[in-house]
Amino acid sequence: DAQTVCRDLLPHSEKTQGEGTEPAESLWTSFADGRVRLRIDNSCPQTPITVHQMFKESLEKYGSLNALASKKNGKWEKITFSEYYCLSRKVAKSFLKLGLERFHSVAILGFNSPEWFISAVGAVFAGGIVTGIYTTNSPEACYYMVHDSKTDIIVVENQKQLDKIMQIWNRLPHLKAVVLYKDSIAERHPNLYTMEEFLELGGDVSDSTLDDIINSQKPNQCCVLIYTSGTTGKPKGAMLSHDNITWTSAHCSRAGGMQPAEVQQESIVSYLPLSHVAAQMYDLWTGIKWGEQVYFAEPDALKGSLINTLKEVQPTSHMGVPRVWEKIMEKLQDASAQSGFMKKKMLSWAMSLSLERHLMGSNSSGLQQLWTRLADYLVLAKIRSALGLSSCQKHFCGAAPLNRETLDFFLGLNITLYEAYGMSETTGPHCLSGPYVYRQHSCGKPPPGCRVKLVDKDAEGNGEICFWGRTVFMGYLNMEDRTKETFDEEGWLHSGDLGKLDKDGFLYVTGRIKDLIITAGGENVPPIPIEDAVKKELPIVSNAMVIGDKKKFLSMFLTLKSVLDPDTSDPTDILTEQARDFCQRSGSKATRVSEIVATRDQEIYRAIQEGIDRVNSTATNRVHCIQKWIVLPRDFSISGGELGPTMKLKRLAVLEKYRNEVDSFYKE
């Protein structure tokens, strides 16, 4: 058990690790064993450290505090930071025993758990590179990442994930072992271990052997691989250095208002995919840096159980991707639609007061603040309690832009969503909002030591966002040309995103260059503002996607809000309460998506056209108007291929899937 391991390992002494980095001339590399020159800025010149050094510093301060908590048989089981560290060392020794080579990968394929965290930290301690794989990946997608990263060992959660690896194992020359950490082994294979068996393997690996490897690590060497979703071509493995991880954990989290445990031990719920940079940084590495207590949600968190976990844990900080916050909003809107007249009135009154006070800020009057506090006490606090967010002081949103309607909805609940902006290539956040750095509808500012600039600005001040600082990644693994394309001659990372800066340095993301529609007439049309406007006008619409690149006019795909299957999280045919309410107000009795699409429901189609007409009436010019549209028979989903793992819209995949519908828009 953890305490026994801790007793065995904690007393040993370790060599003092050398300061500084491995000498390097270049700001980038495409080799796993490469090293880079760090972008150290005078405004934030802290000495670079490794992941192990970060953990040791935290261990001295937080060793006795609880670190990880997971549910077993209905009860929370917790381990302290001392136990966490010792287990990570034990895992590292077992990886070495299995033959993990320096700068080769340990891939982890499973839902968030203590085993995920300990395997990741142990892989780094052992001189390997952590590679998270999405649980939704196909066997072929797993093969690409495992082969590309020279994975020596794969840690899998259950039989379902193991089956994927068994299909590809004979094509993986580097793969030496697989560790199964949740299910028992149904059929024995050579080099397949349970977690219990695996932990015993490293018993004869000495502390000094492991310490020699730990002490040889340098902050400017790779320790984490984050594979991008690969919406255009093969996934790219973004290499993150020790310094990327340790510096970002320290400085970006503090810019967002996260507290060290000496001030307040933060508690968070881990539920978003750890193969995504945002969740891995927020849950795993920042948790180590500041002594946070991490509670692991159930695997069906996004199918409905998350709120139960939040209510039980009462986190002090919570992060969601936009679709998570949007789904919460839609559920609350559904509940409101079903409530009685007085409840609706009270909620509307309270939310309008709260939103107005937030929008006015310090300009709100004393009387207005008094009324808002009363509304919060009578109505809004109860809603936050029902969401499990009563104790939550910081609510973050990352991984994709959040629309204004959702931001304003939560301000109405007296919940300020702090937006973070970055990418896998910036170790997650490069710009952050927080309690002390906030401006509505902005994603904040870069922390000290990081910089942002805009290039190729248009007349309205929109330009491509470029990054500089210690968040900036090392390069793409085995992709020298793609790495060179990403950086300019001065070493600035080009994001491919469009944004504006205000006079105070707050950044506003306005679109993506690749998403920018260039019509046949050469007009540039950013699609997201149009899509957001349509969704705001039409509460029945779940997803709106503008089409029109190299076309004579703009058209649009629409999907309708439907109830999610509780087992699969896939959209069903049944309309949500909010969508049914829209139907009734429009004069339709429809309760299913198929009823509306099959019959081209006259009332609904008329209401949709009227909403689109209202959006068109505010367009800059006719080129920005939606000329044709179609309602698709099913909402977008991960399983359908239209959404990525973090619910981002995969525009190219949608265009390919519905190619016939696109062609029908533009037939002569």
pLDDT tens digits along 560-618: 999 988 878 889 999 999 999 999 999 999 999 999 999 999 999 999 999 999 999 98
For residue 193, pLDDT over 90 is answered with: yes
DSSP string computed for 208-261: HHHHHHHHH--TTBEEEEEE---SSSS--EEEEEHHHHHHHHHHHHHHTTPPPT
Compute the average pLDDT of residues 239-259: 91
- Return the C-alpha torsion angle 183, 134, 410, 543, nearest 10: -120
CB 149 within 8 A of CB 224: no
Are 20 and 46 contacting, i.e. CB atoms less than 8 angstroms apart? no
Q: Are 431 and 421 in contact (CB under 8 A)?
A: yes
Residue 463 or 3, more confident: 463
Distance in angstroms (rounded) separating the CA atoms of residues 85 and 68: 11
Task: Name the strand (E) or helix (H) holding 79.
Answer: strand 75-80
| pLDDT given at position 95 | 98
pLDDT: which is higher, 13 or 79: 79
**Fold exhibited by the domain 2-6+29-247+266-292:** Rossmann fold (3.40.50)
pLDDT of res. 142: 95
Given phi > 0 = left and psi -120 to 50 = alpha, else beta, which region is 301? Answer: alpha
Confidence at residue 21, expressed as pLDDT on a 0 to 100 scale = 63
Residues 60 and 112: their CA atoms lie apart, in Å, by: 26
Q: Which helix (H) or strand (E) holds 192?
A: strand 192-194
Instruction: Convert the pLDDT of each residue in 606-664 to its tens digit.
Output: 999 999 999 999 887 888 899 999 999 999 998 898 988 777 888 888 999 999 999 99
pLDDT tens sequence across 291-312: 999 999 999 888 888 999 999 9
Q: Who has greater pLDDT, 322 or 287?
A: 287
For the chain, what is the mean pLDDT?
A: 90
Please give the residue that has the higher pLDDT: either 430 or 361: 430
What pLDDT sits at residue 513? 83
| 463-485 residue pLDDT tens | 999 999 999 999 999 999 999 99
Place 364 in a pLDDT band, splitting at 50, 70 and 90: confident
Which residues of the chain does CATH 3.40.50.980 include?
A: 2-6+29-247+266-292
Q: From the CA atom positions of the chain, what is the Rg in Å?
A: 25
Question: Per-residue confidence at 668, pLDDT binned at 50, 70, 90?
Answer: low
> Residues 3-18: what's their mean pLDDT?
35
Predicted local distance difference test score (pLDDT) of residue 523: 77
Structure tokens at 304: 């409905």
pLDDT of residue 3: 40
Residue 269 has pLDDT above 60, yes or no: yes
The order of strands in the sheet holding 417-423 is 317-320, 394-397, 417-423, 428-432
Domain with CATH 3.30.300.30 in the chain: 517-665
Q: What per-residue confidence (pLDDT) applies to 635?
A: 96
pLDDT at 322: 85
Of 65, 114, 111, 57, which Cα lies nearest the Cα of 90?
114
Q: Which of 542, 512, 546 is nearest to 527 (CA)?
A: 546
Residue 107's identity, in one-letter code, is: A
pLDDT exceeds 90 at position 208: yes
Quick one: pLDDT at residue 94?
98
- Is CATH 3.30.300.30 correct for 517-665? yes
Neighbour tally for 154: CB within 10 Å: 27
- Specify the pLDDT at position 528: 87
Nearest to 260 by CA among 271, 269, 249: 249
Residue 16: band (very low, low, confident or very high) from pLDDT cuts 50, 70, 90: very low
How far apart CA 485 and CA 232 sit, in angstroms, is 15
CA–CA dist 53, 235 (Å, integer): 31
Provide the 3-class DSSP secondary structure of residue 189: coil
Q: How far apart are the first and last CA of the chain?
A: 72
pLDDT at residue 11, rounded to an integer: 31
Asked if 475 and 453 count as a contact pair (C-beta separation under 8 A), the reply is no
Q: Residue 10: is its pLDDT beyond 50?
A: no
Instruction: Label residue 461 left, alpha or beta by phi (over 0 means left) and psi (-120 to 50 means alpha).
Output: left
Count of all residues that appear for the chain in the document: 668
d(CA 469, CA 491) in angstroms, rounded, equals 10
Q: Pick the closest to residue 31 from 129, 126, 172 (CA basis).
A: 129
Cross-strand pairs, 518: 524
pLDDT(39) > 50 = yes
| 492: CB partners within 8 A, 6+ apart | 453, 466, 467, 468
**What's this model's pTM, rounded to 2 decimal places?**
0.84
* pLDDT over 60 at 8, yes or no: no
**What one-character-per-residue DSSP string does 521-542 give?**
T--EE-HHHHHHHHHHH-TTEE
pLDDT, mean of residues 326-330: 87
